[in-house]
Amino acid sequence: MAEDSDRLRRLNLNVTMVEYCVSAGWIAPAAPEYSDADLTRAALIRDLRDAMGVNDEGVGVALDLLDQIHGLRRALRRVGDVMHGLPEPARQDVLVILRELDEA
């Protein structure tokens, strides 16, 4: 728990804010201690609420959109990994198909 206290202090967070984020379902720690991602998300939530005046409903919408963006980035990375593993002729075929879709 002492490690969490140090990390909370570095991010200018307090336990009450983090517990509020957990109770709202915005972060869900998988271990007794919070991950860096949990605390970074809590800091973002604090900024949305305090610095930008976003209400709780808006925070939920913003977090859902950010989660979707991160999911899309992961999916795109997987597609890129698959593309790099393809033989060059197959890779070129896929690129031609993608260009044709862009032109349609």
Q: What is the pLDDT of residue 30?
A: 85
Answer whether residue 41 shows pLDDT above 70: yes
Confidence at 2, pLDDT banded by 50, 70, 90: low
pTM: 0.77
Confidence at 27, pLDDT banded by 50, 70, 90: very high
Structural domain spans, the chain: 1-54, 57-104
DSSP per-residue letters across 27-86: ---SSSSPPHHHHHHHHHHHIIIIIS---HHHHHHHHHHHHHHHHHHHHHHHHHHHHHHS
